[in-house]
Amino acid sequence: MPALLLVLLLFAGALPAVAQNQAGVDPLDAARRELQQGHLEEALAAIDQAEKSGSATTSSHDLHGLILLEQGKPEEALASFRAAQKAEPDAFLPRLHIGDALLRAKKWEEARAEYIEVIRSTNILKHNERLRFGILMTHLGAQDTAGAREAYDRIKFPTESPAYYYAQAAWSYANGEKREGDKWLRTADDMFDEQKTAWFARPLHDFGWIKRKPAPAPE
């Protein structure tokens, strides 16, 4: 009887996984959801599941890099992002994330060079806005006032993304105007959902300007 009970329990425990497989749940989609919720180990497990059912892909390398970045391992994250870029040289996200990892590591000039290289090869407005914001943050991180001013002036109103509002906030914080910076962030929050602002908010958190750490942004 105990042996039969054990078999039944094991079978019952396997049912959710079977149901997910039958429902066609993409492990990489599951990994993205877990990452956004801050469940890093669960996200890694989902990536492992995806790679066991096939070879590593641009998306799996890129997601793995984002997890490593959240774990405070920018150099290891860079290796994953570069593997993603090698798998698909024209993919935007791995190239953006290479710049992000360099920014997180405070390698301002290298991050800027990466963003500039990518901006030369994209004509998608939202991508361009992200990259211009990244360039601004590299100048602010380096305390390069002239370069920051030039980068700031290039982010014109209106923008399709939260770039303009976050650029205004970053400029305000960098110049000691916290209340003004907070006002710009409230405006952005009224106009865009958290998934769209998270990428822009992360460097502000890393620079110590905002307390709340935004959820990871896998897209």
Euclidean distance between CA atoms 72 and 137, whole angstroms: 19
Whole-number mean pLDDT of the chain?
Answer: 90
Identify residue 188 by its one-letter amino acid code: A
Nearest to 137 by CA among 73, 200, 218: 200
Nearest to 96 by CA among 171, 191, 199: 199
pLDDT over 60 at 19, yes or no: no
Euclidean distance between CA atoms 137 and 125, whole angstroms: 19
User: What pLDDT, in 10s, does the model give residues 163-206?
Assistant: 999 999 999 999 999 999 999 999 999 999 999 999 999 999 99
First to last CA, the chain: 50
pLDDT over 80 at 89, yes or no: yes
pLDDT band for 24, please (50, 70, 90 cuts): low
- Higher-confidence residue of 123 and 219: namely 123
User: What pLDDT, in 10s, does the model give residues 29-53?
Assistant: 999 999 999 999 999 999 999 988 8
* CA 120 and chain centroid, separation: 21
Euclidean distance between CA atoms 212 and 145, whole angstroms: 26
Residue count of the chain, please give it. Answer: 219
Euclidean distance between CA atoms 76 and 78, whole angstroms: 5
Q: Specify whether the CB–CB gap between 65 and 101 falls below 8 A.
A: yes
Question: Who's near 73: CB < 8 A, 6+ residues apart?
Answer: none
pLDDT band for 59, please (50, 70, 90 cuts): very high
The predicted pLDDT at position 53 comes to: 82
pLDDT band for 55, please (50, 70, 90 cuts): confident
The sign of the torsion formed by the CA atoms of 41, 44, 50, 54 equals negative
Euclidean distance between CA atoms 42 and 193, whole angstroms: 24
